[in-house]
A and B are shown apart, each in its own frame.
Chain A
Amino acid sequence: MFTRLLAWVDQRFPLTSFVKHELTEYPTPRNLSYWWNFGFLAGFVLVLQLATGIFLAMHYKADSSMAFDSIQHIMRDVNYGWLLRYMHSTGASAFFIVVYVHMARTLFYGSYRAPRELMWWTGQILLLLLMAISFMGYLLPWGQMSYWGASVITNLFRATPFYGEEIVRWLRGDFGVGDATLTRFFALHYLFPFIIFGMVVIHLVALHTVRSSNPSGINLADKDNIPFHPYFTIKDFFGLGVYLFIFLLFVFFFPNAFIEPANNIPANPMQTPSHIVPEWYFLPFYAILRSVPDLVGGVVAMGVSVLIFAVMPFMDRSKIPGGAHYRPIYRVLFFVFLADVFLLGWVGAQPVGADAHSIHIMELGRAATGLYFATFLLLPFISKFEESWLRKRGLPPALQALFDERTPRHDWHHQEAGK
């Protein structure tokens, strides 16, 4: 019965061949480490956010006079509303942790390099969408931090040449953040997941064209590729179990770790909180914004600091494939950059005033901002220098073979054609 049904479907839709090609026979490098689990985890978090979000939307009221109360209604009266809401609010932070680790892995192993530029760039778009959706979602509880965070961030668009005022008004739907802002943010917060979902499909189509990179950075021989299923399905599910344990530990025992106390005070346009601070996942970029004394300069620096990841495929000039595995200097550079991002995050969380202490923090933030951009801008020179240094020192046989063959850099293309 099942076989006949499947045959009926297969005649009309490539179900069996799709599963075969993309899952049961999809070749995957056998040396992928657990750092390669985070793409799957990001997809899982997206689905969980969608599922909890849809149920929250059934009880939430996007109206500035009711939004705060409706969250309390969800937290207190709706059956397991607290669970839905804590999963969703913790899920936002979890999403960023997973995506940032996913990006860090890509940078560390040089997975953004040819032929995977489009994966990197679609990933960059996904990061921007994620930032937008989390920013809009943060307004919905209509607490003090929601309100003032949205006011500060929308106000940044004032830096747009000529049309600054108009764009800010257009984003808010009013002269200040108000009911019109809340309703449009809610509408877009409900729309964006589907755009993200579409973008994820594009990201995956690109992945299945170029296939996964691997820690060595060298394309493996066919015999070193193993089918995705069952090897990586089970590895991903085990990783998911570990992830769920940590995620649910926060949901059930520390759900307020990611909710600012000030956001438990209803939005009050007449009273500015003493210390407006963005969510932790924006802190490094916020520190860069504050490091530049001028509004336009700060906004440009912040925008560039997010978008600059896209230029990585051009900046890395080394002919030695991959990332940190064969490249000690690149490895050091990666950890310096990572430490710098943490430092910026810390700086971004500090309140600033006019006292000597604040000035020290500002100086620290400026130095860290300089280092942040310097790592990108110096990479072409560092990667070239590193290449010649390594070649002079003598390459390991696996790499030397690549240079001896004098194959073009895009040899993956020939492999594909040969199949």
Chain B
Amino acid sequence: MKKLTSTLLLGLLASLAVAAQAAEEPTLREIDVPHDLASLQRGAETVATVCMGCHSLKYIKYRDLLAAGIDKDKVTAWRGTKSKDSSMISSMTPDAARSMFSVVPPDLSLMAAARDGRARYIFSYLTGYHKNDKGVVTNSVFPVTRMPDILGSSMAADAQARAAIDEKAKDVTAFLAWAADPHAQERRHMGYYVLGYVAFMTLLLYLWKKQIWREINKRPKIK
């Protein structure tokens, strides 16, 4: 009987394996998203001074950057005359964007959460620019993109230049990952305490349960 069950399960697994072979999604590069403040600040700098030429981050306010620990002078420089309470909105109007790119560049607040692969997608997309056989710059993750190769991956001459671009892309990814889920660090930090507490409580409940059931468990098992 057990053999029959295992044969069936094996058959099922085999059919799944065969069916799973044909995957057409572009392969994304692995990334270990940095969690340190320095990386976040460098990423914020790139986003505020480069990306925001076209993109907005409407759910992020300048004071959120300060709350995250980013240098006050930098934030002041980025926001210019705007108040701390204003959202990070691009100076390019939607109409101007439409006439230049024929689409409005998407808001970046949730970009790191809104694509399959999440942070891996952002990193792979930013570094995914290359010249194809015809010498035209294209993106391996999102070939129909309208965005130019901002970080210059397609022009990187050597491994050193590529490594520098990777670092920059990593910082931008770290910032966008923070922007998509700004409480993530606080959440994880709290999570350790909560899980520790629950684990300890569960252990006590287990011992208590054993104590209460001691006499009952001495009775013969019901077949």
A residues adjacent to B (C-beta < 8 A): 29-31, 72, 75-76, 82-83, 86, 214, 216, 220, 224, 226, 230-231, 234-235, 237-238, 240-242, 244-245, 248-249, 251-253, 255-256, 259, 261-262, 264-265, 328, 331-332, 335-336, 339, 342-343, 346, 350, 357, 360-361, 364, 396, 398
Contacts and interface: CB of A to CB of B under 8 A. Distances in A.
B191 A335 contact: no
Given A82-B183, A216-B222, A242-B202, 12 more contacts: A30-B222, A75-B183, A76-B59, A83-B187, A224-B222, A234-B209, A238-B202, A238-B208, A245-B202, A261-B113, A261-B118, A335-B5
Contact of A339 (B12, B115, B180, B212): B12
B115 A261 contact: yes
Contacts of A331: 1
A360 B212 contact: no
Interface in B177-223: 180-183, 187-188, 190-191, 194-195, 198-199, 201-202, 205-206, 208-209, 212-213, 216, 219, 221-223
Interface string B106-122: 00011001111110000
B212 A237 contact: no
B156 interface: no
Contacts of A83: 187
Contacts, number: 117
A80 to B, nearest CB: 9
Contacts of B4: 332
Interface in B1-48: 1, 4-5, 8-9, 12, 15-16, 18-19, 22
Contacts of B116: 261
Interface in B153-171: none
A248 B194 contact: yes
Contacts of B1: 328, 331-332
Given A30-B219, A234-B208, A241 B202 contact: yes
Q: Is the interface of B mostly helix, strand, loop or mixed?
A: helix
B19 A360 contact: yes
Given A248-B195, A364-B15, A357 B59 contact: no
A252 B195 contact: yes
Given A76-B59, A262-B114, A265-B114, A339 B9 contact: yes
A249 to B, nearest CB: 6
A243 to B, nearest CB: 9
A245 B198 contact: yes
Contact of B187 (A82, A230, A261, A262): A82
B209 A252 contact: no
Given A30-B222, A335-B5, A241 B201 contact: yes
Given A30-B216, A220-B222, A234 B205 contact: yes
Contacts of A224: 222
A398 B213 contact: no
Q: Which 8 A-B pairs have the closest CB atoms?
A: A252-B191, A241-B202, A264-B114, A31-B222, A357-B22, A238-B205, A264-B113, A264-B110
Contact of A343 (B12, B113, B181): B12
B180 A264 contact: yes
Interface residues of B, number: 46
Contacts of B59: 72, 76
B13 to A, nearest CB: 10
Which of B1, B110, B180, B206 lies at the interface centre, i.e. has the most chain A CB atoms within 10 A of its CB? B110
B205 A398 contact: no
Contacts of A234: 205, 208-209, 212-213
A256 B113 contact: yes
Nearest to A244: B198
Contacts of B19: 346, 350, 357, 360-361, 364
Contacts of B222: 29-31, 214, 216, 220, 224
Nearest to B222: A31
Nearest to A275: B116
Contact of A76 (B15, B117, B182, B198): B182
A241 B15 CA distance: 37
Interface in B38-91: 59, 64
A262 B115 CA distance: 6
B67 to A, nearest CB: 11
A419 to B, nearest CB: 21
Nearest to B205: A238
B1, B18, B188 interface centre (most CB from chain A within 10 Å)? B1
A32 B201 CA distance: 23
Nearest to B187: A252
A220 B223 CA distance: 11
Contacts of A396: 223
Listed residue (A237, A238, A256, A357) with the most chain B CB atoms within 10 angstroms of its CB: A238
B111 to A, nearest CB: 9
A224 B16 CA distance: 45
A361 B114 CA distance: 27
A331 B8 CA distance: 13
Which of B180, B181, B216 is most buried by chain A, counting CB atoms within 10 A of its CB?
B181
B82 to A, nearest CB: 19
Contacts of B221: 31
A76 B63 CA distance: 12
B184 to A, nearest CB: 9
Contact of A72 (B109, B115, B187, B191): B109
Contact of B223 (A216, A343, A350): A216
A339 B191 contact: no
A393 B53 CA distance: 81
A72 B60 CA distance: 10
